[in-house]
Amino acid sequence: MTSIVEQPRDSPDAGGQTRGEVRLPPETLAAFGGDELRARVFYEKYALRDAEGRQVEKRPEDMWRRVARELASPEKDDEKRKEWASKFYWLLEDYRFVPGGRILFGAGQTRKSTLLNCYFFKIKEDSIEAIFDWCKEAARTYSFGGGVGTDISVLRPRGAPVNNSAIYSSGAVSFMELLSTTTGTIGQAGRRGALMITIRVDHPDVMDFIGVKRDLRKVNYANISVKISDDFMTAVETDADFLLHFKNEKVEVNRTVRARDVWKSLVKGAWQSAEPGVLFWDTIKRESTTEYNGMEVEGVNPCSEQTLESYGCCCLGSVNLSAFVKDPFTERASIDWDALTRAAQFGVRFLDNVLSYNAERHPLPQQKDASLHSRRIGVGITGLGDMLIKLGLKYDDDSTIEFVDHLFERIKNVFYDYSAELGKEKGSFPAFDAEKHLAQPFISRLDEGVKAKIRAQGMRNAAVTTIPPVGSGSILAGTSSGVEPVFALFYTRRSKSLSEGEFKVFHPLVRQYMTATGARDEAELPSYFVTAHQIKPEMRVKMQATIQKHIDTAISSTVNLPEDITPEEVERIYLLAWRMGCKGITVYREGSREGILETEKVSKKVEAPRPVSSFERPKVMEGRTLKLKLPQGSIYLTANLVEGEIREVFVTLGKSGADENADAAALGRLISLYLQHGGDIKNVIGTLKGIKGKYVSWDEGTQLQSIPDAIAKALEILTLNHVVKESGFPKDGSAKQLGGTCPDCHESTLVFENGCYHCGSCGYSKCE
């Protein structure tokens, strides 16, 4: 969700900054029409930085010019480079095309940074050495800015014999915490690495896998999904037994279960907490265009929209459909097909050039080899929800789904036709075999003219299309995300002024409609302004399945469900998705994860205001102590609870001078006094976080800019997403990434969409 109203600003501190936030240059804010959120996403995530980390780009035009120039550089000569720099600038201008975030950030950078959002690579064998080799390769990939997908099906199940002192294996699932910790440890400029862990549904540890994240202390830095086979789904439908099987040269395990027991457990997990997701793996393999010559898909990326070979990469960018509507909100509204076709063609060439440009920027040599072997790209679309509204089409009408079917059929053939043209101009991808490629079921459904061109000219890219989440990118462009409907027409944001008032922030499209038609508020919007929570789940699945027919990899999309939906209804959604040919499905039941941006229909707890002077300290208080390392010495923060809320804080600074230790202790006492008189811990964190001092240090991936900043982040670790208030302290003292209140700005404006979290207030994104 994007703000389009001028936002109140915090009062500047003594250093001229705004309570931990980077001050936006006036020209940056002006370039976005005063839209602070979009301006901040551009300036803090994507604007080019110098060697000291300072932003040197002030307007999106600067970024477009840089990216266009850099991505035209692989062309064969100066004339071609000049031509395509101009064409790529047109493509990027006004957000006609939104490249993946790593491309916007990395093009023209001198630091070690891949332009590819993510990779998949498997654990090579069932051994301790292979597991830790994976951790090493993943850590290197995270350090370059890439996310990782992996699969643990190769690891022997729990209870299988091992030839060491353990005697019996702790199982595949026991190693998930190690993979997750590796991911959470490596920082990426304020982000964490992104990880997807999958397992086959016939692995004997599948039930342990399904339940692993119900213990919220575990596997905090990974998404998880189960690879579902058609045989399993048939067993579910017929209530048959199902064989769980594992075999390698050292061990064999067989176990028979009732398929519906596994299925019910999986559905319950999705209903309770949106995990695990499901991947219909036989459908994925059947519809893959790369099942030959070493390109066979083995897993997915962290958001599951890219089906990949081992060490395969996500080279992503999305055509913004919303940008190609003429005369929006009128009876004359139509698609500018000439411009859309041009953008689709340029997008294919742009991403193909990314592969060449990035050839020496991969974290691992195997990733370079895989990317050039198949030259797999993922041209997607975003802004579908906005386009439909501009055309006056209701997202969940059968006639609209029929329109979308024809739309994607046409775009798909444009993408493939141009990749064939590139094959003629620049050569086919090295693994290309015309007969094998044309025999793939997806390719067989292309227009006859396109297939004839592939046979005669070859193909530049083994796979071409995808639907990525477009998280921060959609905020930057001011559109709905991917193929999602508009999430909400507005959200309520708390003012940062002392009055703490609240105001509505409208989706940009709503404001555009109001400006065009003179409407005064959302009550005057026509019926085709539908949002995610108003659409029947069956229609969301039908839309996804319709689009999937035209996408050679997969789709990242989330079916948003009301809070009172039953597990049985979730089960029906999953069965429908499989039967209709979806490659995977993700659901989110509102309220199943705390604090995500909620509609006004969700019931909220109303607490009586705390009396200002009612606090009486109990003799015994529950508490936890967290240690963070600073250059001045280790800082120890102890937080004590009363009735599930922090009401007392002690801060001690070891090995430091008396004055610094006294200042730290004084901050602890003042925080305690504030909390004991009804203060909100989020206000403490927001006030102290980001204060800069003389030294900057890191502790296990957390940047600490000063003693106050360290205190804020220690409190944040202990209270993130209201875990303390609802269920006491985490037993291991770790933060629980539940997706509630935004960990950056502490507003309750997180949206769970496309399997990822995005903050509508500050632009925070967990999965990108």
The identity of residue 17, as a single letter, is: Q
3-state secondary structure of 467: strand
**Structural contact between residues 552 and 305, judged by C-beta atoms closer than 8 angstroms:** no
Looking at every residue in the chain, the average pLDDT score rounds to 86
- Domain coordinates in residue numbering, the chain: 118-290, 622-738
pLDDT (0 to 100) of residue 488:
84
pLDDT over 90 percentage in the chain = 62
- pLDDT category at 165 given cuts 50, 70, 90 is confident
Write out pLDDT tens, residues 683-741.
Answer: 898 889 888 887 777 776 677 888 999 999 889 888 753 333 333 444 443 333 333 45
Helix, strand, coil percentages for the chain (3-state, nearest 5): 40, 20, 40
- pLDDT category at 622 given cuts 50, 70, 90 is confident
Has residue 477 got a pLDDT over 80?
yes
Alpha-carbon distances, residue 490 vs 328, 728, 762 (angstroms): 20, 33, 15
* Range with the poorest average pLDDT among 21-25, 43-47, 427-431: 21-25
**Structural contact between residues 185 and 177, judged by C-beta atoms closer than 8 angstroms:** no
C-alpha Rg value of the chain to the nearest Å: 26
Has residue 354 got a pLDDT over 90?
yes
Q: Which helix or strand (DSSP H or E) is residue 119 part of? A: strand 118-120
- pLDDT category at 747 given cuts 50, 70, 90 is low
pLDDT (0 to 100) of residue 111:
80
- pLDDT category at 757 given cuts 50, 70, 90 is low
pLDDT (0 to 100) of residue 186:
82
Listed residue (135, 138, 131, 262) closest to 571, CA to CA: 262
Has residue 472 got a pLDDT over 70?
yes
Has residue 156 got a pLDDT over 90?
yes
Write out pLDDT tens, residues 259-304.
Answer: 999 999 999 999 988 899 999 999 999 999 999 999 999 999 999 9
Cβ atoms < 10 Å from Cβ of 614: 9
Mean pLDDT of 227-231: 98
- pTM here is 0.78
Cβ atoms < 10 Å from Cβ of 680: 12
Write out pLDDT tens, residues 506-536.
Answer: 888 998 999 899 998 888 999 999 998 899 9
* Range with the poorest average pLDDT among 8-22, 253-267, 438-452, 664-678: 8-22
Write out pLDDT tens, residues 381-430.
Answer: 999 999 999 999 999 999 999 999 999 999 999 999 999 999 999 999 99
pLDDT (0 to 100) of residue 281:
98
Alpha-carbon distances, residue 398 vs 382, 393, 532, 553, 574 (angstroms): 21, 10, 16, 25, 20
Has residue 496 got a pLDDT over 80?
no
As a whole number of angstroms, the distance between CA 672 and CA 22 comes to 28
* Range with the poorest average pLDDT among 161-170, 319-328, 394-403, 653-662: 653-662
Q: Which helix or strand (DSSP H or E) is residue 120 part of? A: strand 118-120
Length of the chain: 768
Mean pLDDT of 566-576: 96
pLDDT (0 to 100) of residue 1:
31
Top pLDDT among 187 and 439 is at: 439
| Helix count and strand count (H, E) for the chain | 26, 29
pLDDT (0 to 100) of residue 449:
98
Q: Identify the residue whose tokens are 């017929």.
A: 238
Is the domain defined by 118-290 classed in CATH 3.40.50.1980? no
As a whole number of angstroms, the distance between CA 314 and CA 117 comes to 6
**Structural contact between residues 311 and 295, judged by C-beta atoms closer than 8 angstroms:** no
Sign of CA dihedral 754, 759, 761, 762: negative
Centroid of chain to Cα 356: 25
Centroid of chain to Cα 368: 24
Task: Give the strand pairing for 587-589 and 622-630.
Answer: unpaired
As a whole number of angstroms, the distance between CA 288 and CA 307 comes to 8
The CA-based angle 562-564-569, given to 5 degrees, is 80
DSSP string across 48-106: -B-TTS-B---SHHHHHHHHHHHHHTTSSSHHHHHHHHHHHHHHHGGGSEEE-HHHHHH
Give φ, ψ of 591 to 5 degrees. Answer: 90, -10
* Range with the poorest average pLDDT among 4-8, 319-323, 551-555: 4-8
As a whole number of angstroms, the distance between CA 493 and CA 25 comes to 23
**Structural contact between residues 191 and 102, judged by C-beta atoms closer than 8 angstroms:** no
Write out pLDDT tens, residues 299-351.
Answer: 999 999 999 999 999 999 999 999 999 999 999 999 999 999 999 999 999 99
**Structural contact between residues 737 and 595, judged by C-beta atoms closer than 8 angstroms:** no
**Structural contact between residues 72 and 90, judged by C-beta atoms closer than 8 angstroms:** no
